[in-house]
Amino acid sequence: MLELFRDANALWVLAGTTLLGISSGVLGSFAFLRKRGLMGDVLAHSALPGICLAFLFTGSKNPLWLLIGATFTGLLASLFLSWITRFSKIKEDTALGLVLSTFFGVGIVLLTQIQHSDFGNQAGLDKFLFGQSASLVGTDVAIMGSISFVLILLASIFFKELKLLCFDANYGKSLGFPMVGLDFFLMLLLVVAVVIGLQAAGVVLMASLLITPASTARYWTERLDHMIIISACIGALSGLVGTILSSVATKLSTGPLIVLAVTLLFFISMLCAPKRGLIAKSLRLIQTRAKVRQEQIYVAWNQLGSKTITLSALSQQSHLSTTQVHRWIKQKKRTGQVVENSQGTFTLSDASWKEASDTALLGLYMEMWHMYEDIETDCSIQDIEQLSDLPESLRVQLQSYLQKHISEEDRAKAYHSTRRAGM
Amino acid sequence: MTNKTPPLSIENVSVAYHRKPVLRNITYQSPEGECIGIIGPNGAGKSTLIKATLGLLPLAGGEVSIYGKPYSQQRKLVGYVPQRESVDWDFPTNALDVVLMGLYGQLGWFRRPKSEHKDRALEALRKVGMESFAKRQISQLSGGQQQRVFLARALAQEAQIYFMDEPFVGVDAATEKAIVQVLHELKEQNKTVFVVHHDLQTVSEYFDSVMLLNLRLIASGPTREVFTTENLQKTYGGRLAILPHTNEMLSIR
């Protein structure tokens, strides 16, 4: 591995893949939020005919010409895409499929045509299909680097406008920003980001470099600027890791390893991210279930009106099975909140008894709050977790509603019972 | 602001979706400093009228002017509150940031919001009772709170005319109250507010004037003159049930 850092050529490759990761991470974030996840795939595939055409016209493999050709057909594909969705009844997913396969088909036809003819120097165009990072040389990386720099610069200059485009394009239009033009501008940036990655990652894998860092970053933050920075870091990291791995295991090619690295990061994030991750989500669900069960049991215990009760009475009152109630009681016995008596009855500790009645009372208060939801208060109903979260003034008010409501209910009951009695 | 030119003037406007006319020959001149309800059945073109006025939909014919000039020259005078469902609320941003978007038009290209703009956005949030939610991620807000954030965003624009697309739909009582409060304040500042509205029960309470719309303009004018059983039946057809004695709308089937 140390050899890698002594070899100048390998360092160029490393720099190239890292830069590529950064620029596709940044641009991919906007594509992801604009819900253009598949766009990268379309743009990458439709770049192939452009590369072939550029070669056919100029007869050279100068990367600049190839990039211009690829950008041209990439833009053409994105224009076709928006025309199809705007002027026909075909939906976007169908249009994506149509445009992608048509352009890629044309690209493959041209590629075989070039390979079967006598160009002499045609060898190497097919590297755009699957990418060949090892073929990156100093000039390639210099071009990639400067274009990446311009892309990132443009994205940061237009950050505010691009954010508006991704969040609420119609509102942006009402403010006077040319949203159609901005959308095209974002598309142009995306095309260029895709095209500079083709040599390293290839037409087939480029899409994942664009979209995976962004969707990975989304797991870790709730702020757009942070998301873009994280996405760039993830892109860079996977570029580095993929390149180093492929130089250690020389038989594996770089592009696919980069994609595997970024996908691994995605899976780790999907599982382990603090708020949005699957593990965190299921932990929250388990906690919520335990809390709901506890509330049910507390309220039932409170309704039974006695600190000491039998298991069957509690199970009946709480509408939970005896096993469920018993499991809860076993937990609480360990913490000393419940004591089992010799006759098979259970007694709640004083502190928990207070907690139970608080829980029951909070439940009633919340009912009142929902009934009279226009109560004047500073706090928000969804922020209330326990009785002590209620400010005193609000509590007094809810209490008065509760008394009024309960007495009305009693009166109604009394009314019905007198009716039933035929009085 | 001269009093002679109406805030909104619509001349013979038609709008079409896929060659099918949605609004036909609407001609209307709005009063100034009033709260105007746009009323009509589903699919009557209420939102379409707003969107066409704001240039979000192409006109199939006719002309719209804001204080006597085309909308494109008067953008700074117009605030827009789109329907809440029109955006994805799982966007990585907070309430304050969304309200700041209301100032993007004044900021223009490339300029980033500064602390003075943040103060103005906070002030707008305060007006809708959402100051304490400024830093809250927008997907964590309730539907009503999201609606108030959208309202605050338009307030931050400090416009002269406001267009609100169904702000009262599916909101809690606190939000309804906050919106009504804002409408009153805007009226006190002699601003003109158009509100697409569904609930016929509250029309007389909320709006000084109404536009009754069903593909064409059925009637428009002061609420107490125009919001009549006869006009409503013209607008809603047989779908309106009316209590004969109280002359009040019971429900729309």
pLDDT tens column, B136-168: 999 999 999 999 999 999 999 999 999 999 999
Residue A237: per-residue pLDDT: 96
Out of A21-25, A140-144, A217-221, B59-63, which region has the weakest mean confidence (pLDDT)? A140-144
Instruction: Please tell me the distance in Å from A376's CA to the nearest CA on chain B.
Output: 8
**Is pLDDT above 60 for A93?**
yes
Contact assignment for B82 to A177 by CB distance below 8 Å: no
Contact A310, A340 (CB under 8 A): no
Contacts of A176 in chain B (CB under 8 A): 72, 75, 105
Check if B54 contacts A (Cβ < 8 Å): yes
Chain A residue nearest residue B105, CA to CA: A175
Are A204 and B133 within 8 A, CB to CB?
no
Mean pLDDT of chain B: 89
A187 close contact with B: CB closer than 8 A: no
Q: What is the mean pLDDT of residues B220-230?
A: 91
pTM metric for this prediction: 0.86
β-strand B78-81 against B61-66: which pairing, if any?
unpaired
Q: Does the domain formed by A2-276 have CATH 3.40.50.10800?
A: no
Confirm or reject contact between B180 and chain A (CB < 8 A). no
Identical fold for domains A2-276 and A284-422, yes or no, is no
Chain A contact probe: residue of B47, B56, B140, B141 with most A CBs at under 10 A: B56
Chain segment A239-289, per-residue pLDDT in tens: 999 989 888 876 788 888 999 999 999 999 999 999 899 999 999 999 999
Which among B113, B53, B48 is positioned nearest to B83, based on CA atoms? B48
B56, B113, B153 ranked by CB distance to A173: nearest = B56
**Given pLDDT bands bounded at 50, 70 and 90, which one contains residue B1?**
very low
Domain boundaries, chain A: 2-276, 284-422
pLDDT of residue A160: 95
* DSSP H or E run through B225: helix B223-226
Q: Shortest Cα distance from B75 to chain A (angstroms)? A: 6
- Residue A128's pLDDT is 82
Mean pLDDT within A302-328: 88
Nearest to A167 among B51, B91, B174 (CB): B91
Chain A residues within an 8 Å CB radius of B94: 222-223
Contact A131, A202 (CB under 8 A): yes
The 10 Å CB-count burial string (b at 16+, else e) for B17-54 is eeeeebbbebebebebbbbbbbbbbeebbbbbbbbbbb
Which 3 state secondary structure label does DSSP give B38?
strand
- The pLDDT score that the predictor gives to residue B48 is 92
Higher model confidence: residue A222 or residue A122?
A222
Handedness of CA B140, B142, B147, B148 (dihedral sign): negative
* Interchain pair B101, A167: CB under 8 A: yes
Cβ within 8 Å, pair B92-A218: yes
Residue A156 is predicted with a pLDDT of 94
* More confident of the two residues A343 and B192: B192
Question: What angle do the packed helices A138-157 and A159-175 form, to 10 degrees?
Answer: 40
Higher pLDDT, B19 or A71: A71
Minimum-distance CB partner of A224 among B80, B93, B173: B93
Q: Is the pLDDT reported for residue A205 higher than 50?
A: yes
Q: What is the CATH number of domain A284-422?
A: 1.10.10.10
CB within 8 Å of A11: residues ≥ 6 apart = A4, A5
**Is B172 within 8 Å of chain A by CB?**
yes
> Which chain B residues are Cβ-neighbours of A382 within 8 angstroms?
142
Interval B209-226 mean pLDDT: 93
Question: What pLDDT is recorded for position A185?
Answer: 94
CA distances from B241 to B203, B206, B233 (A): 16, 21, 9
Q: Does A173 touch chain B (CB under 8 A)?
A: yes
pLDDT, tens digit (0-9, with 9 covering 90-100), for A129-167: 887 777 777 888 888 889 999 999 999 999 999 999 999
